[in-house]
Amino acid sequence: MRVFLTKLADNFVSMYFSVKVFYAVTLLN
């Protein structure tokens, strides 16, 4: 269960940063 939560958190963090980068690129363009 702990491993599952850790994987979930990692996926959430990477997705969050991907969205941030996407928004930054979109606003800069």
- CA 26, distance to chain mean position in Å, is 16
pTM higher than 0.85: no
Q: What is the DSSP letter of 15?
A: H
- d(C-alpha 26, C-alpha 1), whole Å: 37
- Both tokens of 9, joined, read 């958190």
Question: What span, in angstroms and rounded, lies between the C-alpha atoms of 29 and 27?
Answer: 5
Tally of structural domains, the chain: 1
Confidence of residue 25 (pLDDT cuts 50, 70, 90): very high
Which residues span the domain enclosing 5? 1-28
- pLDDT-derived band at 1 (thresholds 50, 70, 90) equals confident
